Amino acid sequence: MPDSATTPVSFANRAITEPWTTKEPPVTRRGERTRQALVQAARTVFERDGFINSRLSDITTEARCSSGSFYTYFESKEEVLVAVLESMQDDMMHPGIGRLPEGDESIRAVIEASNRAYIEAYRRNARLMMLLEQVATLDPMFAALRLERAQTFAERNSVKIKSLQEAGLADTSLDPRTTSWALSSMISRLAYLGLVLGEPFDWDELVGTITTLWLNALRVPEDRRG
Amino acid sequence: MPDSATTPVSFANRAITEPWTTKEPPVTRRGERTRQALVQAARTVFERDGFINSRLSDITTEARCSSGSFYTYFESKEEVLVAVLESMQDDMMHPGIGRLPEGDESIRAVIEASNRAYIEAYRRNARLMMLLEQVATLDPMFAALRLERAQTFAERNSVKIKSLQEAGLADTSLDPRTTSWALSSMISRLAYLGLVLGEPFDWDELVGTITTLWLNALRVPEDRRG
Amino acid sequence: MPDSATTPVSFANRAITEPWTTKEPPVTRRGERTRQALVQAARTVFERDGFINSRLSDITTEARCSSGSFYTYFESKEEVLVAVLESMQDDMMHPGIGRLPEGDESIRAVIEASNRAYIEAYRRNARLMMLLEQVATLDPMFAALRLERAQTFAERNSVKIKSLQEAGLADTSLDPRTTSWALSSMISRLAYLGLVLGEPFDWDELVGTITTLWLNALRVPEDRRG
Amino acid sequence: MPDSATTPVSFANRAITEPWTTKEPPVTRRGERTRQALVQAARTVFERDGFINSRLSDITTEARCSSGSFYTYFESKEEVLVAVLESMQDDMMHPGIGRLPEGDESIRAVIEASNRAYIEAYRRNARLMMLLEQVATLDPMFAALRLERAQTFAERNSVKIKSLQEAGLADTSLDPRTTSWALSSMISRLAYLGLVLGEPFDWDELVGTITTLWLNALRVPEDRRG
DNA sequence: AATGAATGAGGTTTCATTCAT
DNA sequence: TATGAATGAAACCTCATTCAT
């Protein structure tokens, strides 16, 4: 339910690809290969050194191409970062098999699976998430991107909370939007603390506790939790 | 109860002042004045431009002193940032009057006041908190500082949660440490989203909802909330 | 026989080019030209201003290129100095025609020609030799280089002295190594005093006297001197 | 006989003290103590770090006085170096007891003792001699000083050589001045190579060989050497 | 005579971006 | 499409010297 890694995210389709990409996409196969190599190299370098501490020359060296070629495909360092973050979205959009419970699973199981999937996706992309946090403080464009991402999930969760309330399964005195933001925030910050800053957590236990806290917070009736 | 702004914080006294300051403190009044001017100027510049995008020359210009004077008191931009963050701690350590409820106030009132105080302190220092997030992704020293800060509050809250459990006022199936981290994370992320990234929140409503969520999450009995 | 300018010198081939050059050599002709211009400009500037008092900007101005280009080819001022000193070795390795006597020339003639060639080579490179003395007192790397250079010549002369002794042409009570160092020192210091510090010498007379002193010192029999 | 350490040197009395010292000497005892502390500290620092790599602040710290006090006694870094070099002259002017042979000692013994005394004095002041070489390449004033020093010794030796020639004890075909410069150069360079650059020499053997070389070079008759 | 804070010109170095080939 | 050399604006930092106290 948080920042869910299970569905496409808006900015990958609209906010990024449209207004920020000005270079023509490659037309030849060779060009496509070079562009891909640059994106992959950029991811490697960014994950290793961060955005600020990386140099374009590191990326082109890693991609085994010249610095001039970089500008055939990207306008700037920022733009290749956008492409790298898009590729992260691609990953988060295709969770591993069996991540989501099927059929008439209990509420608890659904929430827990969602939380677990989020943590797993975050783990795979922890360095890039750190990157996103880093550049969000540097460039309003990325701040907007960061916020947009959070908004997407908050809104989605907001709808789900409202459904639960209407089904008599959640505390109706809670404002759905605020509650959604609060619960999403909880897990995204925990992922950041644990997977980026390195606070040691027992992740199985953590997911269980978070799930309980959500159910408690929403006051899902004991006998309907699953 | 979160990152509480109501009590002294460890790193302000121990971690920062001792190991990170290598320059001799000024001995004359004039020197003290100049150093203070530099710290104040650095805060102004950092809040305006961020850490990465600020130049030492901006700071010295703002402080109306020469670039050489900067190095009389600080080894580097990092070191003056430490001093600025210390001054932030000083502020967070001295909350305004009446922030904390007195005597036999209800549990809800205590938690709500604590959350409100946190948000208020965060608001006053929002740009510096952003700074801390920014440098935490750049420099392990600041990452450690960031984490240490979070740990302090998580541990303090952990103790309080345990007390509530022992008094039969909280769900004993919850692990106190994990729960503490989760609830602290919720509010600190919300403060970041709202006060740094600019998501528009109704803060009064937000504090109320957060407080309800905490009470719900901990399962504080309805009739004991106040 | 002293610091002989007539044969290749070890450090030009081994010690310098290998371990001290970290930048990739240029691959295009244009790059080669720029690198050469920088080395030539550095020599001009170093000879004019010395190593300490020269600025990188002087060198790039002289080479008509940007400061950034300097760092395309060299890591530091030290490194371009190494390249300049290499070029000096190149010069000292290719003495002018007729510097060395041929065939069954007399001992005196051989030694005198060798000394004369040394002085001439020193004269052509006097400012660079001063540079080497200067940096030898500043940087252990160059001190080692200076010493290595002296060792090379001392060892070569040592062998020659031993030959003379074995042929009954030199005082066998003299230790060849010490004697070699002493005689090499004599001429190198004289060259320094005259050509660097500016003591006025009659160089023809000087070479003659030095040669006599060597023959006397070694006790080469009167009737075998030539 | 070389750069002899056994007699006062001109520049200490004339060249340095007169034209280069512009500050008034201290009048109080306290002032005298401070000035002495600064000279001593400068020597320590210069010997440790060289002239170029030393900072005035190191000197004043070492002397336990303020940077301002330095300028009470010296005009510049150069000037305190002059004072330090003067103190070296003082040392070289007062060799240890028994360094020089007395009475009707043999020629060999006199020359050997002189050479030994030179090496010993050089050893005591090796770092300062390096300093002198260093600054001689940087500042014409010190180059002149360096040369003047060498001239003094060369001239003194020149006179002695002439005496030996007139007494029929030395090769009259040798030009006294040139010969004097050559022999002085030999030992001063050897001292530099061994004591500054670190070439390992057996000093007892070295002094013996040098002495033999001098006697040979001058062609002092075998039966008159002692 | 002593202090120590203040000065600021002057140097080195980086690296995103451009451009001639 | 690819290359890699060239660019040059910044930005940091040092330390001899001055000066107010």
Q: What is the pLDDT of residues C130-171, one digit of tens each?
A: 999 999 999 989 999 999 889 988 998 899 999 999 999 999
What distance lies between CA B64 and its chain's CA centroid?
A: 29
Chains A and B form CB pairs within 8 A to the count of 129
Q: Which residue intervals of D96-175 are DSSP H helices?
A: 107-124, 126-136, 140-166
Q: Confidence band (pLDDT; 50, 70, 90) for A89?
A: confident
Instruction: Round to whole Å and give the CA distance between B94 and B8.
Output: 8
* C36 closest CA partner among C65, C10, C76: C65
Nearest-neighbour CA in chain A from B139: distance (Å): 10
The answer to whether residue D40 sits within a structural domain is: yes
Confidence of residue B225 (pLDDT cuts 50, 70, 90): confident
Question: Mean pLDDT across chain D, nearest whole number?
Answer: 85
CB D196 within 8 A of CB D219: no
Interface test with chain A among B135, B161, B181, by most A beta carbons within 10 Å: B181
Query: What confidence tier does D88 reach under pLDDT thresholds 50, 70, 90?
Result: confident
Whether residue B81 sits in one domain with residue B147: no
Q: Which residues of D touch C205 (CB under 8 A)?
A: 175, 178
Average pLDDT of the segment spanning B137-144 = 92
Would you call C205 an interface residue with chain D, using a CB distance cutoff of 8 Å? Answer: yes
- Per the structure, the complete domain to which residue D68 belongs is given by 11-92
Q: Which residues from C are below 8 Å from D50, CB to CB?
A: 137-138
Closest CA to D162 of D186, D180, D149: D180
Confirm if B66 and B60 have CB atoms less than 8 A apart: yes
Amino acid at B8: P
**Do residue D50 and residue C137 have CB atoms under 8 angstroms apart?**
yes
* Stretch D181-204: mean pLDDT: 96
Nearest CB to D147; choose among C151, C178, C199: C199
Residue C164 structure tokens: 């003379």
The answer to whether strand E lies under 7 Å from the CB of residue D36 is no
C216 with D217: CB under 8 angstroms? Answer: yes
Distances (CA, A) of A154 to A149, A186, A194: 9, 12, 21
Residues A149 and A189 in one domain: yes
Whether the pLDDT of residue D11 is over 50: the answer is no
What's the confidence (pLDDT) of residue C161? 93
Tell me, yes or no, whether C105 and C87 share the same domain: no
In a 3-state reduction of DSSP, which class is residue D50? coil
For strand F, give the nucleotides within 7 A of a protein CB: 1-21
Cα–Cα distance for residue pair B135/B50, rounded to 1 Å: 10
Residues C48 and C86 placed together within one structural domain of the fold: yes
CA nearest neighbour of A39 among A5, A93, A6, A88: A88
Min mean pLDDT across A57-71, C11-25, C86-100, C197-211 is at C11-25
Q: Has residue D116 got a pLDDT over 90?
A: yes
**Helix, coil or strand: residue C51:** coil
CA distances from D2 to C40, C161, D16, D108 (A): 40, 25, 22, 14
pLDDT at C48 over 60: yes
How far the first Cα of chain B sits from its last, in Å, is 17
Asked whether the predicted pLDDT for residue D17 surpasses 80, the reply is: no
Q: Is residue D36 part of a domain?
A: yes
Asked whether the beta carbons of residue D147 and residue C193 sit closer than 8 angstroms, the reply is yes
Can you give the pLDDT at residue C127?
A: 94
A4 is a domain residue:
no
Q: Is the pLDDT of residue A211 over 90?
A: yes
> Residue D208: its pLDDT value, please?
97
Chains C and B touch (3+ CB pairs under 8 A): no
What's the distance, CA B98 to chain centroid?
19
Q: Are residues C74 and C100 in the same domain?
A: no
The percent of residues in chain D predicted with pLDDT above 90, rounded, is 68
Is residue C135 within 8 A of residue C128, CB to CB? The reply is no
Q: How many structural domains comprise chain A?
A: 2
Say yes or no for a CB contact (<8 Å) between B190 and A213: no
pLDDT average, residue stretch C91-109: 60
| pLDDT of the residue at A21 | 58
Higher pLDDT, A23 or A143: A143
The per-residue pLDDT for range D44-79, each reduced to its tens digit, is 999 999 999 999 999 999 999 999 999 999 999 999
Mean pLDDT estimate for chain A: 85
Please judge whether A198 and B134 are an interchain contact, meaning their C-beta atoms are less than 8 angstroms apart. Answer: no
By Cβ distance, the residue of C179, C187, C216 closest to D219 is C216
Task: Kindly list the residues from chain A whose CB atom is less than 8 angstroms away from the CB atom of residue B143.
Answer: 197-198
**Nearest residue on chain B to A126, alpha-carbon basis:** B137
Q: Which two tokens stand for residue C157?
A: 């002369």
Domain ends where: A60, A84, A108? A84
pLDDT for res D8: 25
Which of C:103-132 have CB within 8 Å of D? 130-131
Contact C181 D188 (CB under 8 A): no
Residue nearest to nucleotide F6 (CA to C1'): C69
Q: Which residues of C touch D213 (CB under 8 A)?
A: 174, 179, 182-183, 217
pLDDT higher for A7 or D95? D95
Q: Which token pair is B43?
A: 């805060």
Question: The pTM is what?
Answer: 0.85
Q: How far is CA D175 from the centre of its chain?
A: 25
Contact yes or no for B147 and A216 at CB 8 A: no
CA distances to A151, B210, C99, D16 from A8, in Å? 13, 29, 83, 83
Query: Do C86 and C188 have their domain in common?
Result: no
Q: Which residue of A188, A199, A213 is in closest CB contact with B179?
A: A213
Cβ proximity of D33 and D173 under 8 Å: no
Where is the domain boundary, C48, C74, C91?
A: C91
Q: Return d(Cα D67, Cα A53) in angstroms, integer.
A: 39
Indicate yes or no: CB of A133 within 8 angstroms of CB of B138. Answer: no
Q: Report the residue of D209, D214, D219, D220 to disrupt the C interface, i.e. the one with the largest count of C CBs within 10 Å.
A: D209
Q: Which of C108, C193, C225 to mutate: most D Cβ within 10 Å? A: C193
> Mean pLDDT, to the nearest integer, of D205-218?
97
CA–CA min distance D32, chain C (Å)? 32
pLDDT for position D103: 62
Residue B2 in domain? no
User: B29-65: buried (b, 16+ CB within 10 Å) or exposed (e) per residue?
Assistant: eeeeebbebbbebbbbbbbeebbeebebebbbebbeb
User: Averaged over C95-104, what is the pLDDT?
Assistant: 48
- CA separation for the pair B144, D22 (Å, rounded): 56
Contact A186 B185 (CB under 8 A): yes
For A174, the closest of B52, B137, B212 (CB atoms) is B212
CA–CA gap between residue C13 and residue C92 (Å, rounded): 13
Residues 152-181 of C with CB under 8 A from D: 171, 173-175, 178-179, 181
- pLDDT score, position D18: 40
The sign one gets for the Cα dihedral A113, A118, A120, A121 is positive
Answer yes or no: is C55 CB < 7 A from strand E.
yes
Same domain, D60 and D143: no
Is C53 in the same domain as C108?
A: no
**8 Å CB contact between D17 and D86:** yes
Nearest to C174 by CA among C164, C187, C189, C186: C164
Mean pLDDT of all residues in A2-23: 39
What per-residue confidence (pLDDT) applies to D20? 52
CA–CA dist D3, B59 (Å, integer): 56
What pLDDT digit, counting tens, does each position of B169-207 carry?
Answer: 999 999 999 999 999 999 999 999 999 999 999 999 999
- On whether both B114 and B40 belong to a single domain, the answer is no
Q: Which residue of A has its CA nearest to B194?
A: A147
Chain B CB contacts of A133 under 8 Å are 133, 137
Within 8 A of C213 by CB-CB distance, chain D residues are: 174, 179, 182-183, 217
Quick one: pLDDT band at residue B153, thresholds 50, 70, 90? confident
Nearest nucleotide to B68 (CA to C1') is E7
pLDDT, tens digit, for every residue of D159-186? 999 999 999 999 999 999 999 999 999 9
Q: What is the phi-psi region of residue D191: left when phi exceeds 0, alpha when psi lies from -120 to 50, beta otherwise? A: alpha
Q: How many CA atoms lie within 13 A of D29 on its CB side?
A: 0
Interface residue B52 vs chain A (CB under 8 A): yes
Last residue in a domain, options A21, A52, A84: A84
Under DSSP, the state recorded for D225 is -
**Is residue B6 a part of any domain in this protein?**
no
Cα A72 from chain centroid? 28
Tell whether B204 is within 8 A of chain A (Cβ): no
Give the one of A189, A201, A216 whose C-beta lies nearest to B216's C-beta: A216
Strand E and chain C: which residues 142-171 have CB closer than 7 Å? none
What number is the average pLDDT over the span C62-71? 96
Position of tokens 């505390």? A171
pLDDT band at B93 (very low <50, low <70, confident <90, very high): low
**How far apart are alpha carbons C221 and C9 in whole angstroms?**
31
First to last CA, chain A: 17
Which chain A residues in 56-85 sit with Cβ < 7 A of strand E? 56-57, 67-68, 70-71, 76-77
D114 and D217, same structural domain?
yes
Q: Which residues contact C195 (CB under 8 A, 6 or more apart)?
A: C119, C122, C123, C126, C129
Percent of chain A with pLDDT over 90: 69
Question: Do B122 and B209 lie in a common domain?
Answer: yes
Q: With respect to residue C1, please indicate whether it lies within any of the assigned structural domains.
A: no
C102, pLDDT greater than 70: no
Claim to verify: residue D178 and residue D192 sit in the same structural domain? yes
SS3 (DSSP) at A202 = coil
Q: Quick one: DSSP state of residue B175?
A: -
Which residues of C spanning 65-84 put their CB closer than 7 angstroms to strand E? 67-68, 70-71, 76-77
CATH code assigned at D60: 1.10.10.60
In a domain, B41, yes or no: yes
| CA–CA dist A224, A222 (Å, integer) | 6
**In this structure, is residue A3 part of a structural domain?**
no
CATH of the domain at A194: 1.10.357.10
DSSP B95: P
